[in-house]
Structure 1
Amino acid sequence: MLTEKKDVAIAGAGLVGTLLGIYLKKKNYKVTIFDRSADIRKVKFSGRSINLAMSTRGWNALDRVGIGDAIRKIAIPMDKRAIHLKDGSLTFQPYGINGEAIYSISRSGLNRLMVDLAEKEGVNFEFNQKIWDVNLDTATLYIGENEHGPFEQKTFDMVLGADGAFSRIRHRMQRQNRFDYSQYFLNIGYKELTIPPNADGSHKIDPNSFHIWPRGEFMLIALSNDDGSFTCTLFMPFEGENSFEKIHTEEKLNVFFNEYFSDTKDLIPNLQHDYFTNPTSSLVTMQCYPWTYKDKVALIGDSAHAIVPFYGQGMNAGFEDITALSDLLDKFPDDIQMVFEKYQAIRKPNADAIAELSYRNFIEMSTKTADADFLLQKKIEAWFTKLHPEKWLPLYDRVTFSLNPYEDALAIGDSQKMVMDEVMKLPNIHENWQTAEVENYILELLRKNKTDI
């Protein structure tokens, strides 16, 4: 417990900022969260969201402060992928080897609930407050209507930047000497579409599946909401043959969907309205270092490590930042600079690892989920894991259904890929995969690699 009550400002009232506020309030900090936008509970969401996929790391962070059960009430379990092939056929791919599920949650619904929960803990929110700069040495925020002032100055013991991929707190830190920063935009954008509920409020398709229409360079996904609707996201290149640039009329949109997503004709009745009304958003990976400045300022979540959404780990990784920071605050309550230094040293390698894994997973979702060899490989991994759980845990399970470090998951996943590449070369593997010969071959490869995976 703190020997002195500290006054902390958090920039950003999103998911990471609000959960961080709850954690700090429970440690007896005075917490004020500033956000440049209006109170999310009083505004209509913007139509540029991708539904969240809560998994083990996220639930762990929520349960540690006793709010997991409140959030489970608005979460829908998804224990499998539903793969919609171009010919209209449907196949299923289970997620966890033991039936585990990820959970679909509306971003706006979760954010609203978490602001309510944070307020109940005593966290103070200041909405419509635009932070333009911060004095790193004094933890002073400069707040005003525009970046040229006039400014209201507010000084705190600490400032924590949870203000997203285009963070103003990080923008100030970037002006330091020897501050590393990079951002990389995919040539893939995304647009939100909606599958409305049936007239009786039920879901039109299976709510307990993560629905994917994989089409190579582009794909459609759909995640269920608790009102019977689905939030769909169309991922597609900005330019090229099948792209947002080319599909710019209702006629071209209809032709495109009839060719590639014909089974959605009756699912998305407002396709034209959604496509031409909702914005086309970009996808960015952002990396930087250091994340902290002395004992005054720290970055957390997307402000420190924005990633693309294809592993469903952005929010989960941000929540895990909070648990790591919280553990260090418990260990060194009166040495914030030590806390900050250890926090960034622990989390930076893991943030880089999940960024790489997320980038790679677009290929898996958009292309490999429709590939027979890939689906067989997943079956072989699950089968071998049940035979030798001490020797193998599939990469997806390691990332999504465990608390193992992302850094380890990336390294072990690369080792597993080398093994499986050899296994898939075996003659007649599609007919004879569930055999002692295949089992012994995998064991031999593991011994040869001398890798504990």
Structure 2
Amino acid sequence: MEGKSNKNSDTQVAVVGAGLVGSLEACMLAQRGYDVHLYEYREDIRTLEHVPGRSINLAMSVRGRTALRHIGVEDSIIAHHAIPMRARMIHRPDGSTAAIPYNKDGQCIYSVGRRFVNEVLLTKAESFPNVTCHFQHRLTAMDITTRTMTFTNPTTEETNTRTADLIIGCDGAFSAVRKEMLKRANLNYSQNYIPHGYMELCIPADKHGEFAMPPNYLHIWPRGEYMMIALPNQDKSWTVTLFMPFNIFESLTSPQILMNFFQQNYPDAIPLIGEEKLVKDFFANKGLPMISVKCSPYHVGSSCLLLGDAAHAMVPFYGQGMNCGMEDCLVFDELLTKLDYDLSLVLPAYSAKRNPDAEAIVDLAMYNYVEMRDMVNSRWFLLRKKLDNFLNLIFPRSWVPLYTMVTFSREPYHMCIKKKQRQDKVLHCTSLAVLGTAVVGGVVLTWRSGSASDWLHKTFNFVVTAGRSAVPYLDHVTLY
């Protein structure tokens, strides 16, 4: 893919933010021949023992893998670092477990370390002669009209001014680029903090240096209002993330209260984490907030663009934050080809194409929190999963479960939801037809077996009973 075009060598692009999306975007732009400058407020993470900032383990799927393949690093990441997760492993309060495969074909998502992937992408970016990396450059001011940026070194407080033909903000949910864009008219923006926080814990390798749980699963402890998940790491440990309302975090004020809470909700996790380690790690940290961000459009003229969390931060419950951000880079790259590199056309086309999908996955990520923490315990949810897989087996092209569309294809996110809604309507109509047939059958049977009064009474009871049985099913089949 390298060296696709040299026609853009006179166009300088500033990519602000050298995280996963920013470093990937720098690579794709370099392949197109642009003169790319990549700015990052932190030091080079490849030189640090500990990387500052938040880190929820990443679940890589088709959209992210496709983007990595585009710049030639997919195989090195998947083959040498990623751990396949082929199903959810549900941990019940009594300590028993049950596996729920992601789909009938045995497809899997991959547990990958954020730092490792970021380092691979940075190294790849630096391999291009037309990419220059600038670390310890925090964006402190920007003039979109003149395309001028002021950067400050967070250690020395020294400032310098740079210009670029195009500024791309890949600087996360609290984007400095977006903040400057908001000063201009016609940019819609909203953010939403959810009342739940998260905390990362750890299950170490067992005494033999092996995984303490079956490794090829995303382990989930669903508990209604809160939940815990665990993803496997290369060193045979598990990154455990505890999600729950802040008031619950705040109520766990002593080791004894914490252990009572875990004994009641996650008893099988206590020996896996270790009681002493659990107490130490929990009280050394605090519940951290999660935010959803929406804005539109994602561009200003032909001079400024937002990608990744800067445009559409989402809560982590569909595992699509990284995948969506990486797909942003693919969509932008595809439009460069389609519109012959004309940025005055490419940027508005990108906003128009990507915004419906980004908003759809932001909403879907929020909804999946309800599914993961509660519905996976529901017999109706499990029945719907089995029904979806059965219908997919019979009609593989026309009936595809929502999770399969989102995770194992590049179907636009908003179309995934539309197709799911059509499937729901089919199931609603089918369910009502079955219920209606049963009612008619009940009417005939009661008419033949008793008097008219008996018939009316039995028919009424039959309809009420059947209706009560159907309601939970009909409620659940409408859910994402």
| Helix, strand or coil at the partner of 1:133 | strand
Contact 1:157 1:296 in 2 (8 A): yes
Bigger mean CA offset, 304-313 vs 370-379 = 370-379
Aligned to 2:356: 349
Contact 1:9 1:34 in 2 (8 A): yes
Aligned to 2:205: 197
Q: How does 1:287-436 map to 2 (within 5 A)?
A: 287-420=294-427
Contact 2:8 2:32 in 1 (8 A): no
The 1:46/1:82 distance shift into structure 2, 3 A limit, reads farther
Distance (Å, rounded) in 2 between the aligned partners of 1:36 and 1:371:
45
- CA drift at 1:168: 0.1
Aligned to 2:195: 187
Distance (Å, rounded) in 2 between the aligned partners of 1:195 and 1:12:
31
| Helix, strand or coil at the partner of 2:29 | helix
Contact 2:220 2:230 in 1 (8 A): yes
The 1:105/1:267 distance shift into structure 2, 3 A limit, reads same
| CA displacement, residues 148-196 of structure 1 (integer Å, 9 cap, x when unaligned) | x874110111111000000000000001112111001110100000011
Aligned to 2:220: 212
From 6, 26, 30, give the equivalent of 2:35.
Answer: 30
2:88 maps to 1:88: no
Distance (Å, rounded) in 1 between the aligned partners of 2:404 and 2:315:
19
Matched AA of 1:388? F
- CA drift at 1:49: 1.6
Q: How does 1:221-260 map to 2 (within 5 A)?
A: 221-239=229-247, 243-260=248-265
CA RMSD in angstroms comes to 1.7
TM-score, normalization by structure 1 = 0.90
Matched AA of 1:41? R
| Helix, strand or coil at the partner of 1:220 | strand
- CA drift at 1:198: 2.1
Bigger mean CA offset, 408-417 vs 393-402 = 408-417
Bigger mean CA offset, 39-48 vs 264-273 = 39-48
Matched AA of 2:423? Q
| Helix, strand or coil at the partner of 1:265 | helix
2:286 maps to 1:286: no
| Helix, strand or coil at the partner of 1:373 | helix
2:142 maps to 1:134: yes
Contact 2:141 2:180 in 1 (8 A): yes
Matched AA of 1:26? Q
From 173, 180, 183, give the equivalent of 2:181.
Answer: 173
Distance (Å, rounded) in 2 between the aligned partners of 1:251 and 1:422:
52
The 1:237/1:273 distance shift into structure 2, 3 A limit, reads same
Distance (Å, rounded) in 1 between the aligned partners of 2:35 and 2:209:
43
Contact 1:35 1:130 in 2 (8 A): yes
- CA drift at 1:385: 0.8
The 1:230/1:46 distance shift into structure 2, 3 A limit, reads farther
Aligned to 1:9: 14
The 1:421/1:211 distance shift into structure 2, 3 A limit, reads farther
Higher relative contact order (CA 8 A, sep 6+): 1
Matched AA of 2:332? L
From 74, 79, 104, give the equivalent of 1:68.
Answer: 74
Contact 1:196 1:268 in 2 (8 A): yes
- CA drift at 1:117: 2.1
The 1:266/1:74 distance shift into structure 2, 3 A limit, reads same
Distance (Å, rounded) in 2 between the aligned partners of 1:339 and 1:111:
27
Distance (Å, rounded) in 2 between the aligned partners of 1:423 and 1:254:
48
Bigger mean CA offset, 328-337 vs 397-406 = 328-337
Contact 1:15 1:315 in 2 (8 A): yes
| CA displacement, residues 405-450 of structure 1 (integer Å, 9 cap, x when unaligned) | 10101112223334445667767xxxxxxxxxxxxxxxxxxxxxxx
What is the count of residue pairs matched by the alignment?
Answer: 422
Q: How does 1:99-110 map to 2 (within 5 A)?
A: 99-110=106-117
| CA displacement, residues 123-171 of structure 1 (integer Å, 9 cap, x when unaligned) | 322111111121112221111257xx87411011111100000000000
Amino-acid identity (%) = 39
- CA drift at 1:276: 1.6
- CA drift at 1:328: 1.3
| Helix, strand or coil at the partner of 1:320 | helix
Aligned to 1:56: 62
| CA displacement, residues 340-382 of structure 1 (integer Å, 9 cap, x when unaligned) | 0111111000001101111110110000111112111101110
Distance (Å, rounded) in 2 between the aligned partners of 1:12 and 1:142:
14
| CA displacement, residues 306-364 of structure 1 (integer Å, 9 cap, x when unaligned) | 11111000111111110110011123344111010111111000001101111110110
Contact 1:253 1:272 in 2 (8 A): yes
The 1:170/1:387 distance shift into structure 2, 3 A limit, reads same
Bigger mean CA offset, 92-101 vs 120-129 = 120-129
Distance (Å, rounded) in 1 between the aligned partners of 2:278 and 2:425:
42
Structure 1: gaps of 5 or more residues: 428-453
| Helix, strand or coil at the partner of 1:262 | coil
From 45, 56, 65, give the equivalent of 1:40.
Answer: 45
Aligned to 1:434: none
Matched AA of 1:307? M
Distance (Å, rounded) in 2 between the aligned partners of 1:75 and 1:278:
27
Aligned to 2:470: none
- CA drift at 1:19: 0.5
